[in-house]
Amino acid sequence: MSSVIKTTTPFISKDLLCEALDTMDIHYTIKQDNIITELEDYYGLQMFVYSPELGRYQYQHDSSANGRFNPYPWGMDVNKWGTVSNFLQVVDTEYQNAYKRLEEKKLKEEEERKRKYIEAQKLKIIAKAESKGYSVKETRQGDKTRLVLVRTHY
């Protein structure tokens, strides 16, 4: 008999994990490094517990809530998630989506910073050039801004 086991993405970032839970409309409270969900099992509320040794969050739950009893009789919202594994698969997907959104946001911010820097740099050069008697012509050449400065001595 064979089996395939696939683990979730390591949940390293609290912010991303919380964003994933927000997207899934899971309510939670944060106590120190733990993210306590509204999902309940035989032992109480299930939670993401941060493990400094592993450097990531682990989901703490009753192991019997992972398919041993179906439906699970002690509180977990079986209709929506079925098992802990199913729940974690959705968290995994939303965590990765949150990560992608963060990357896109960072990239956009970086592009915007770069664009502002280049614009300021260009304006500085134009101002200096004009103060030194150059005439300035600006054009766009592919991915470049071209400034042609010309000064004629009479």
Partner 1 sequence: MPEERITIDIDDEGRITAKTSGFYGTACMDALIELLDKDDVPMVIKPTDDYYQNQKNTVNNIIRQKGGKL
- Tell me which residues touch partner 1 (CB under 8 A): 113-114, 117-118, 121-122, 124-125, 128-129, 132, 134, 141, 143-154
Residue 146 CB, nearest approach to partner 1 (Å):
5
Four-residue CA torsion sign, 23, 24, 25, 30: negative
Per DSSP, the three-state class of 140 is: strand
Task: For partner 1, give the closer residue by CB, 2 or 139.
Answer: 139
Distances (CA, A) of 104 to 9, 98, 109, 112, 114: 19, 10, 9, 12, 15
Neighbours of 102 (CB within 10 A): 14
Residue 25 CB, nearest approach to partner 1 (Å):
39
Task: For partner 1, give the closer residue by CB, 29 or 135.
Answer: 135
Task: For partner 1, give the closer residue by CB, 100 or 113.
Answer: 113
